Amino acid sequence: MLIQQGSKLLMIGDSITDCGRARPVGKTAGNGLGDGYVALVDAWLRAAHPAQPLSVVNMGVSGDTVRDLRARWQTDVLDLAPDWLSILIGINDVWRRFGDPAQMAQHVPADEYEATLEQLVSDTRPRLRGLVLLTPFFIEPDVGEPMRAMMDHYGQVVAGIAARHGAILIDTQAAFDAVLEHEPPMALSLDRVHPCLTGHMILARAFLRGVGAA
């Protein structure tokens, strides 16, 4: 496994990461990590790698865009001094473009999304042992569907940032696409954004494979 023994792994993002985690800091005790992919990653690591105990921290916040991450980066990332950092952000940045018109101002254009995420990664990467970037996703097999097409573009942005900074890239869209060859979107998510437990297991498995843990 690429994550070193005794490391602190901080996972940050939006509602997909949040999943009801504890406040102010989501930690392993009780249900502190929520009930999504972060908790599944922690459970797998503890069961499969007991000789490599990790401290997993969940700092997801429902509704966040990359703008919100920037606003809380100091307190929710830098001050917590993680060894490894995992970032999954971008779903709301895109989704707001296609949702309630009252929320369209919260849509983050691709150039702003890239510049903001690039700056956060640039400022933080030298402090870390390792960085994991997960692409945003839309649980929709039709690549021509407008939101899916835009989400794929934002995923390409994340891939470029990962390549420039030596980060591990987790292509979550590809992970969902492999399952969508056999299952309809509604089997994984009622709104094609928030995964059911199976969807969170898809995310967890992709993450674990990316860090060499599964």
Distance CA(7)–CA(52), nearest Å, equals: 9
The candidate with the shortest Cα–Cα distance to 90, out of 130, 52, 56, 120, is: 120
Q: Which residues are catalytic?
A: 15, 191, 194
Distances in Å between the Cα of 197 and the Cα atoms of 35, 60, 168, 170, 190 are 8, 17, 24, 19, 12
Q: How far from each other are the two terminal CA atoms of the chain, in whole angstroms?
A: 8
Distance between CA atoms of residues 73 and 89, nearest Å:
13
**CA proximity to 68, closest of 78, 80, 60:** 60
Q: With contact defined as beta carbons under 8 Å apart, do 170 and 124 qualify?
A: no
What secondary structure does DSSP assign to 104-122, as a single string? Answer: GGG---HHHHHHHHHHHHH
Rg (CA), the chain: 16
